[in-house]
Amino acid sequence: MIYHNSPDIKLNTNLGGLSTSATIAIQQLCRQLQRQGKNVYRLGLGQSPFPVPDPVIKTLQENAHQKDYLAVKGLEELRQTLVDYHHRWFDVECGIEDVVVGPGSKELMFILQLVYDGEILLPLPAWVSYSPQARIIGRNVNAIMTYKEENYKITAQQIDTICRLDPNRSRLLILNYPSNPTGQTYSAEELEELAEVLATYKVLVLADEIYARLDFSGDPASIVTYYPEGTIFSGGLSKWCGAGGWRLGIFIVPEKMRWLTDAMATVASETFTSTSAPIQYAAVAAFKENPEIDRYVEKCRNVLATLADEITGQLQKTAVDVLPAQGGFYIFPDFSSYRTKLAEKNILNSAQLCDGILQDTGVAILPGSDFGRDPEELTARLAFVDFDGGKALQQYPEDGVLNREYLLNCCGRTVEAVERLVNWLDAL
């Protein structure tokens, strides 16, 4: 019997037109091409190249026997550790009931969008999943376009213009910094300015700071500091701790919004129940104050910052327009100045651009259109992570000075990928 052709059984219309998330799809395509024997440079999926730090691995090993379902909001010891973490980083007080642990922050974001009934403000370009999540749930997304001239950041004025039209509407702003896909971040002054206008209109903010510890300054500003009463902090182990596949994300919600936290916990109790127990025990070790972990993060940050400098410098020798990354592992070059030459190769939009680059050079990157940009804008996201992070940490010099030789030795594939891209552009 062919069920999917039955007139009575239909797909939820919210899912119409959605397919596998772009970042997952590029990874699958890369694997397929590699199986065919192609040399593929994986600058598509934004996965940390670094191993999980030793104290965290060790704690996971010691807790492999933990088998019980844990509290829906998360292991108490972990939530207390996160309360302390929040205090240490932002000087903001919260209680363990304000913390929710989930199987990845992505899942928590989905649940948040489900329980919060309001308009979603989404600056573009944005990480690939916010908008599809809203669509699956049936939420309205109000996209806010950002501009390269303003480093792809929203301004307080843009928020004011939107909210002024209907000041009493409930709204949730998704603010991600350092940004995936642009690698840009907000200064303390910019966040303070945004906080002021957001507080005026009581806009709830989801501060997606999953890359915060990879802010190259080592001292990231957070909107939590300026707008604690209206900010949900989102983080996890996936990026700075190299543990994407472990699936652990966290939310810290303002105390005054306990109704929201509890609603999220209700949905969690009916869906994922609780996050993997051994992983939660290991996460305690990751978030506890520990100089060894601080040192690990510092090294990862330094490698990424140096590599970002190298590849941005390479690209800046071409006519590509690219902003230096300020954190995380992405850059978002704009190839517009090659539009005429690209058109001769029948490349008219960002998807065709990335297809062409992959076919001709083996370098996999993702089109700006996957991040909500106009398909004809010739932008793309490049994740500079195709290297062996374990080797990069092992060979990290005592003095922390990472020269070109070190980069070529430890991050050679990424440097080589960008060289290929530069050669491709030069040959256009």
Ligand X SMILES: Cc1ncc(COP(=O)(O)O)c(C=O)c1O
- Binding region for ligand X (CB under 6 A): 46, 104-106, 127, 176, 180, 208, 210, 236, 238, 244, 249
Cβ proximity to ligand X, 244 vs 356, nearer residue: 244
What's the closest the beta carbon of residue 410 comes to ligand X, in angstroms? 23
CB atoms under 10 Å from CB of 141, counted, come to: 20
What's the closest the beta carbon of residue 286 comes to ligand X, in angstroms? 13
Cβ proximity to ligand X, 244 vs 324, nearer residue: 244
358 near 113, Cβ under 8 Å? Answer: no
What's the closest the beta carbon of residue 45 comes to ligand X, in angstroms? 8
Cβ proximity to ligand X, 318 vs 386, nearer residue: 386
The b/e string for 213-230 (b: 16+ C-beta within 10 A; e otherwise) is: bbbbeeebbbbbbbbbeb
Structure tokens at 183: 């690698």
What's the closest the beta carbon of residue 156 comes to ligand X, in angstroms? 22
Cβ proximity to ligand X, 176 vs 312, nearer residue: 176
Q: Which amino acid belongs to residue 243?
A: A
Q: How far, in Å, CA of 53 to CA of 202, rounded? A: 39
Q: How far, in Å, CA of 359 to CA of 30, rounded? A: 11
With CB atoms as reference, the residue minimizing the distance to ligand X is 104
What residues contact residue 221 under an 8 Å CB cut-off, 6+ apart? Answer: 186, 187, 188, 191
Cβ proximity to ligand X, 215 vs 407, nearer residue: 215
Cβ proximity to ligand X, 199 vs 277, nearer residue: 277
What's the closest the beta carbon of residue 239 comes to ligand X, in angstroms? 7
CA angle 286, 53, 83 (to 5 degrees): 10
Strand partners, 334: 321, 379
Q: How far apart are the first and last CA of the chain?
A: 53
What's the closest the beta carbon of residue 318 comes to ligand X, in angstroms? 27
